[in-house]
C-alpha cells in the first residue's frame, strides 16, 4: 500500500525553538492513526505544516498518487487537494444556519465567480440532509449553528469535513469537552470515516485512543519517539519515561 501522505525530514524553528525536528511520518489512503505526545511535542505544529499554515525550514511533504508537494501550496489549495482539518475548539460559522454551514463546505467549485452563480439543486439539498443525518443534526438544519451545544458544534464541524470529501482528515482532540455518550458517537464516526479515507487523530486522552483501536504515533520534542499499536508503544521504555511516567 503506497502512502497517501508522506512527510519526511521536516524541521521547523520558531525564534530558535525547534518545534519540529527532522520529523518523518506517513499514512496510507484508508488508515486511522492516533498521534499522542506531551504538551509541546509538536502535534499542532505538525498539523499546521500539513495544512499549509506553517512553512517548514526543511523537509518535504508529499500528498496523493501524483506526489504533489504541499509545501508550494497555500491553505485553500491544500484544502481543495483533499486535506481537511478539524480544530480542537469547534469552529463553525455561528452566525449562519446548520444548512448554510454544510452547504458552504459541500464539494463544489470554489472560485468567487462560480460560487456567485451557484444554485442549490435537489442533489445538493439531499446531500446536506444526508450529512446532517449522519452527524445527528437532521432536525437542526434551520437553526443558527451558534445556538447548538458544544458537542453538536463538534459534530457539525465533522459534518462539514465530510461534505468537503477530503482524502486526508486531520482531527485535533475531537473528544475534548464531550460527555461519555458524545464520545462514543464521535469514536464511531471516526472509525467509520477511516474506512474510506485517511484519518489522523491528535489526542491527549488515552482511554479515547484505546477505543479507536488503531496504530499510534508518539511525538516527543518534535520528532517520532515510537510507532505501533497502543500496547506496543505503552510498553516502550522511552515513552514511559517522557510521557506516561509523568502522568
Partner 1 sequence: MTRHSFIAQNPAVLWFLLILAVFTIVVTLLSEAYGVAFISTSFVKTLGKTLCLCLVALAMDLIWGYAGILSLGHMAFFAIGGYMVGMWLMYARTEEIVVAALAQGGLPATPEEVRQGIATQIFGVVGASDFPPVWALAHSFWAQMALVVAVPGVLALVFGWLAFRSRVTGVYLSILTQAMTLALALYLFQNDSGLRGNNGLSGLQNLPGLGDVSQDALSVWFFWASAVALGLAYVLLTWVVSGKFGSVIRAIRDDEQRVRFLGYSVEGYKLFVFTLTAVIAAIAGALYYPQAGIINPAELAPIASIYLAVWVAIGGRGRLYGAVIGAAFVSLLSSWFTGGRAPSIPLGFYTINWVDWWLVLLGLSFVAVTLFAPKGIGGLFDLWQGLRSPDRKGAALGPDDSSLQEKEAVK
Nearer to partner 1, 78 or 218 (CB): 78
Among residues 13, 21, 88, 97, the one that binds partner 1 under rule CB under 8 A: 97
What is the footprint of partner 1 within residues 126-155 (CB under 8 A)?
141-144, 146-147
19-27, 114-122, 191-199, 234-242 -> range binding partner 1 (CB under 8 A): 114-122
C-alpha cell of residue 245: 511516567
Burial of 155 (0-12, 13-18, 19+ CB in 10 A): buried
CA distance 41 to 45: 9
Backbone angles phi, psi at 117, to 5 degrees: -100, 10
User: Does 177 sit near partner 1 (CB under 8 A)?
Assistant: no
Q: How far is the CB of 37 from partner 1 (least distance, A)?
A: 22
CA distance 225 to 244: 13
User: Does 105 sit near partner 1 (CB under 8 A)?
Assistant: yes
* Pattern 41-80, partner 1, x by CB under 8 A: ----------x-x--------------------xxxx-xx
Nearer to partner 1, 110 or 235 (CB): 110
Angle between helices 98-105 and 150-164 (to 10 degrees): 30
Nearer to partner 1, 144 or 210 (CB): 144
Q: How far is the CB of 200 from partner 1 (least distance, A)?
A: 15
Residues near partner 1, by CB under 8 A: 51, 53, 74-77, 79-80, 84-85, 87, 91, 93-97, 99-100, 103-105, 110-113, 115-116, 118-120, 125, 141-144, 146-147, 160, 164
Amino acid at each position: 500500500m503506497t502512502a497517501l501522505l508522506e512527510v519526511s525530514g521536516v524541521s521547523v524553528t520558531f525564534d530558535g525553538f525547534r518545534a519540529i525536528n527532522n520529523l518523518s511520518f506517513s499514512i496510507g489512503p484508508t488508515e486511522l492513526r492516533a498521534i499522542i505526545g506531551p504538551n509541546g511535542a509538536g502535534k499542532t505544529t505538525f498539523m499546521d505544516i500539513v495544512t499549509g499554515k506553517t512553512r517548514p525550514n526543511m523537509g518535504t511533504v508529499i500528498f496523493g498518487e501524483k506526489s504533489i508537494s504541499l509545501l508550494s501550496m497555500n491553505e485553500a489549495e491544500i484544502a481543495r487537494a483533499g486535506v481537511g482539518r478539524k480544530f480542537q475548539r469547534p469552529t463553525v460559522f455561528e452566525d449562519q444556519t446548520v444548512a448554510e454551514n454544510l452547504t458552504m463546505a459541500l464539494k463544489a467549485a470554489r472560485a468567487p465567480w462560480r460560487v456567485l452563480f451557484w444554485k442549490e439543486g435537489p442533489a445538493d439539498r439531499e446531500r446536506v440532509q444526508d450529512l446532517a443525518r449522519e452527524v445527528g443534526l437532521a432536525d437542526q438544519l434551520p437553526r443558527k449553528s451558534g445556538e447548538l451545544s458544544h458537542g453538536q458544534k463538534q459534530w457539525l464541524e465533522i459534518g462539514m469535513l465530510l461534505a468537503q470529501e477530503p482524502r486526508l482528515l486531520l482531527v485535533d482532540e475531537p473528544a475534548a469537552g464531550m460527555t461519555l455518550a458524545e464520545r462514543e458517537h464521535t469514536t464511531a464516526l471516526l472509525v467509520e470515516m477511516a474506512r474510506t479515507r485517511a484519518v489522523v487523530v491528535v489526542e491527549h486522552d488515552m482511554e479515547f485512543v484505546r477505543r479507536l483501536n488503531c496504530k499510534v504515533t508518539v511525538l516527543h520534542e518534535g520528532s517520532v519517539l515510537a510507532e505501533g499499536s497502543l500496547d506496543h508503544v505503552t510498553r516502550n521504555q522511552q515513552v514511559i519515561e517522557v510521557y506516561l511516567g509523568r502522568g
